[in-house]
């Protein structure tokens, strides 16, 4: 129990409290504006309650996601990179769903997701890992040209 409390204390010590305070302030202001619109009859009470729950879940998710060691996760690009591409390719199967004239959603039965968002995260993590792996070689012309051609195509 002591180790868990020590770990939690260490985790909360390294949180960017200013960013968290800004997010909480924006969420509170959003709820205040919705309450004002509710008093004017433009917004239903259910919408405000949904927003409060969504804000609480968002802050909780941010705290949980903040625990993920992205440096360790980026080393496994060879696992999630191809999986993200496969999810993107599944759009052209019967699992692909068109919304507003755009084939961008994947219906997994229980949930629909946008695989392009997963692919963006996979690309960012894998590119960061590869650039970090190059280190000082990044300043040499062949590696620099390869990086610039990658960044221009994306």
| Band of residue 131 on the pLDDT scale cut at 50, 70, 90 | confident
Per-residue model confidence as pLDDT tens digits over 9-40: 777 777 788 888 998 999 999 999 999 988 88
- 140 by DSSP, 3-state: which? coil
| Structure token pair of residue 9 | 């204390």
Q: Percentages helix, strand, coil for the chain, rounded to the nearest 5? A: 75, 10, 15
pLDDT range class, residue 152, cuts 50, 70, 90:
low
| Nearest CA-CA partner of 154 in 104, 115, 97, 116 | 116
pLDDT per position as a tens digit, 99-114: 888 889 999 889 889 9
* Residue 14 φ then ψ, to 5°: -100, 10
Which residue has better confidence, 149 or 74? 74
**What local confidence, expressed as pLDDT, does residue 146 receive?**
61
Decide if pLDDT at 153 tops 80.
no
Token code pair at residue 63: 């705290």
Residue whose tokens read 């894998």: 126
Beta strand spans in 13-146 (E): 96-99, 102-107, 112-113
Model confidence over 52-63: pLDDT tens digits? 999 999 988 888
pTM of this prediction exceeds 0.95: no
């Amino acid at each position: 129990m002591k180790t868990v409390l020590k770990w939690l204390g260490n985790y909360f010590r390294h949180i960017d409290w200013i960013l968290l305070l800004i997010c909480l302030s924006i969420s509170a202001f959003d709820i205040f504006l919705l309450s004002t619109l509710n008093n004017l009859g433009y917004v239903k009470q259910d919408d405000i309650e949904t927003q409060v729950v969504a804000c609480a879940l968002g802050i909780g998710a941010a705290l949980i996601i903040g625990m993920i060691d992205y440096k360790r996760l980026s080393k496994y690009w060879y696992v999630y990179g191809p999986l993200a591409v496969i999810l993107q390719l599944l759009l052209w199967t019967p699992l692909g769903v068109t919304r507003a004239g755009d084939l961008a959603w994947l219906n997994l039965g229980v949930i629909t997701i946008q695989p392009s968002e997963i692919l963006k995260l996979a690309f960012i993590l894998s590119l960061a890992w590869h650039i970090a792996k190059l280190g000082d070689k990044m300043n040499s012309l062949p590696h620099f040209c390869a990086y610039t051609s990658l960044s221009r195509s994306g």
